[in-house]
Structure 1
Amino acid sequence: MTHPLRIAVAGAGYIGQAHMAALQQTPGAGLSAVVDPSPAAPALAAAAGVPLYPSLDELLRHDRPDGVVLATPNTLHVPQALQCLEAGLPVLLEKPIAPSVAEALTLVERVEATGGRVLIGHHRAHSPIMAKAREVVQAGTLGRLVAVMGSATFFKPARYFDEGPWRREPGGGPILLNLIHEVHNLRLLCGEVVAVQALASNAVRGHAVEDTVSINLRFANGVLGSFMLSDTAACARSWEQTSQENKAYPSYDDEDCYVITGTQGSLSVPTMRLKTYPRTGEASWWKPFEVGVVGLVRDDPIVQQMAHFGAVVRGEVPPLVSARDGLANLRVTEAIARAASSGGTVELL
């Protein structure tokens, strides 16, 4: 394609607006239409200077974009993605890929049968921080991987639950709303998860859904992981409050949310503090580490993701986060929810 890409965005909520803004910063691409039936949508489309359609059906009846961003409610992800595939359109589908593993399988099978171009919106996969951390791990700088310790601890205010009372009910807690981001990061750094354990508590708020979860993970390569998740912890050890990538959140450059450890050293992310033993000589807790910081250039992963989607639409590259990746992330997240409910170990085979 030599013309500027025409990308339609379906869903004009918070994340949809982020994609619309990213398109303004993407060379060779632009917003062609907004699809949303909400009362706020006309003003957003007018401000962007593009047509508004109340439904995907209407968009496809009157227009032919080069690609579609689906930032719609989770329940619409699979039917709308299938509709776009049927129309031969590349799709950037927001995470989670589907509300359930069973529904995700339907989409994955269709994508793979048709060769459809579907990029799942796990935007942290496009983060320069994650790319550099993965580079350090894959280079063997840490030696053989042993363990990963992670956290997503933050405090959601009362109004968050008042504005969305469904968040007090099962399915509205941090396991299904927040953890799927972390699962993808952990898979990028440590490989595939093969078993999980979890303990959940609702002791602070007393809602019908969890507010704090302690998680253990086993990876296929033998790495073990521990992860603390809480939306009622007044703590800055979360990606949003440490990575500096989303300027809506205050950030603290003395905090990390992951520590990856190997037989030769450890990497703290996202400060990128590196501690390693010299390659020559004995590794021992009685010996000092060589201490440094891995250099990187920070950038907005939402913008990076949109540039990548443009390349997917043009057929230049395969999706960095495939539909099968999205399925794997959802499968691990569902397993953690089951483990928290049962108190047992859930194996992923």
Structure 2
Amino acid sequence: MTPTRIAIAGAGTIGQVHMAVAQRSPSCTLSALVDPSPAAVAVAKAANVPLFASLEDLLAADRPDGVLLATPNHLHVPQALQCIEAGLPILLEKPMATTVAQGEQLLEVVKATGARVLIGHHRAHSPIMRKAKEVVDSGQLGQLVAVMGSATFFKPDTYFDSAPWRREPGAGPILINMIHEVHNLRMLCGDIVAVQAFASHATRGFAVEDTVAINLRFASGVLGTFMLSDTAACPRSWEQTSQENKAYASYDDEDCYVISGTNGSLSVPTMRLKTYPRPEDRSWWKAFEVGVVGMVRDDPLKHQLEHFGAVIRGEAEPLVSAFDGLQNLRVTEAIADAAKSGQTIHLGQLGSEHVATRVV
């Protein structure tokens, strides 16, 4: 099979990770890099691919089979629209837009054109998440009651110095990091219909938050709590527990989600399972049956790229569609709104005509 040629726009941190994954792919190949920055020259040279300063230059010189957009958030929608107009399938890094209004604009174009668009919520391709969802769907936990989650980690100063836009509105851990968590939580517990939040930027003092405490209500009746911080020196985050990205130190005894039901609980990603053997045994005075769910660990970015190749070739529909990406953005925007307003934001059942409402 002729390798599927993928160009990557954006030579930043995540763009270079995608480049490395593409270079190891059995079915795809990295055809070009798009980035106007002087630093991209060395990145393209090391990857032995041509460098273009803009998508216009790329399309004029060397049309790929698909484009992976790993550029700053504010460029996602205009660049996605540019690729759609050119008839190119795209893998668009999350968030799909910086605002829900922009995301809705993009979704309308996707629906009108039938464009092949995969949103880069890569944990949807995680074998760990797939196994956790299997456990939840199996009913072993009983009726779901609650979920506790965290994404607490310390981003060094260099993370912000290398990309100053990360200090400004349109960035921040709610939009950059929490949107991943929203997708995971929706995979496990269903749609989120209301949020509350407190946010602080007391530690870093940037224009965006650095720490957020969040309450969640799911359509199923499940309630959730979530602690988010990019300035907390704590390893209870997906990156520091899942072992999927070897660039991060990992801790075998830490989890970032605990899903609880009427018959037991599952801790993720250690996959520690505690359940009662019989309904009549359910009591806090009685012991759980304790075990670990068997699963494999593998790089979800690898699986995501192979899936994107299949989407480009017309062999698969996007696992995370533009509509799904918009739902995640709606929840994250509601969290930001709740933190700013001090009010509960009710989203209702998520759908194409969604409107969030505030309630004191």
TM-score, scaled relative to structure 2? 0.93
Paired residue for 1:246? 245
**RMSD of aligned residue pairs (Cα, Å):** 1.5
Q: Give the partner amino acid of 1:342.
A: S
Sequence identity, in percent? 75
The Cα shift of 1:152 comes to: 0.7
Paired residue for 1:291? 290
Q: Does 1:144 align with 2:143?
A: yes
In the alignment, the residues of structure 2 paired with residue 276 and residue 136 of structure 1 have an alpha-carbon distance, to the nearest angstrom, of: 12
Q: Deviations over 1:224-255 (max 9, x none)?
A: 00001112222111111111111111110100
The Cα shift of 1:36 comes to: 1.0
Q: Give the partner amino acid of 2:236.
A: R
Paired residue for 1:71? 70
Alignment CA distance shift 1:36-1:106 (3 Å): same
Alignment CA distance shift 1:91-1:179 (3 Å): same
Correspondence 1:99-248 to 2 at 5 A:
99-248=98-247
Paired residue for 1:91? 90
Contact 2:144/2:261 (CA < 8 Å) preserved in 1? yes
Alignment CA distance shift 1:202-1:49 (3 Å): closer
Alignment CA distance shift 1:204-1:81 (3 Å): closer
Q: Deviations over 1:137-172 (max 9, x none)?
A: 111111111110000111223444455555445444
Alignment CA distance shift 1:184-1:141 (3 Å): same
Number of aligned residue pairs: give it: 348
Paired residue for 1:303? 302
In the alignment, the residues of structure 2 paired with residue 338 and residue 34 of structure 1 have an alpha-carbon distance, to the nearest angstrom, of: 36
Alignment CA distance shift 1:47-1:155 (3 Å): closer
SS in 2 for 1:138: helix
Alignment CA distance shift 1:116-1:166 (3 Å): closer
Alignment CA distance shift 1:233-1:110 (3 Å): same
In the alignment, the residues of structure 2 paired with residue 106 and residue 331 of structure 1 have an alpha-carbon distance, to the nearest angstrom, of: 13
In the alignment, the residues of structure 2 paired with residue 103 and residue 78 of structure 1 have an alpha-carbon distance, to the nearest angstrom, of: 7
Alignment CA distance shift 1:284-1:160 (3 Å): same
In the alignment, the residues of structure 2 paired with residue 276 and residue 129 of structure 1 have an alpha-carbon distance, to the nearest angstrom, of: 19
In the alignment, the residues of structure 1 paired with residue 158 and residue 211 of structure 2 have an alpha-carbon distance, to the nearest angstrom, of: 18
Correspondence 1:36-55 to 2 at 5 A:
36-55=35-54
In the alignment, the residues of structure 2 paired with residue 107 and residue 237 of structure 1 have an alpha-carbon distance, to the nearest angstrom, of: 34
In the alignment, the residues of structure 2 paired with residue 56 and residue 289 of structure 1 have an alpha-carbon distance, to the nearest angstrom, of: 57
Structure 1 unaligned blocks of 5 or more:
none
Contact 2:98/2:170 (CA < 8 Å) preserved in 1? no
In the alignment, the residues of structure 1 paired with residue 87 and residue 157 of structure 2 have an alpha-carbon distance, to the nearest angstrom, of: 44
Q: Does 1:5 align with 2:4?
A: yes
In the alignment, the residues of structure 2 paired with residue 48 and residue 166 of structure 1 have an alpha-carbon distance, to the nearest angstrom, of: 26
Structure 2 unaligned blocks of 5 or more:
349-360
The Cα shift of 1:25 comes to: 2.0
The Cα shift of 1:217 comes to: 0.3
Q: Give the partner amino acid of 1:45.
A: A
Contact 2:74/2:97 (CA < 8 Å) preserved in 1? yes
Correspondence 1:273-288 to 2 at 5 A:
273-279=272-278, 281-288=280-287
In the alignment, the residues of structure 2 paired with residue 318 and residue 21 of structure 1 have an alpha-carbon distance, to the nearest angstrom, of: 24
The Cα shift of 1:279 comes to: 3.7
TM-score, scaled relative to structure 1? 0.95
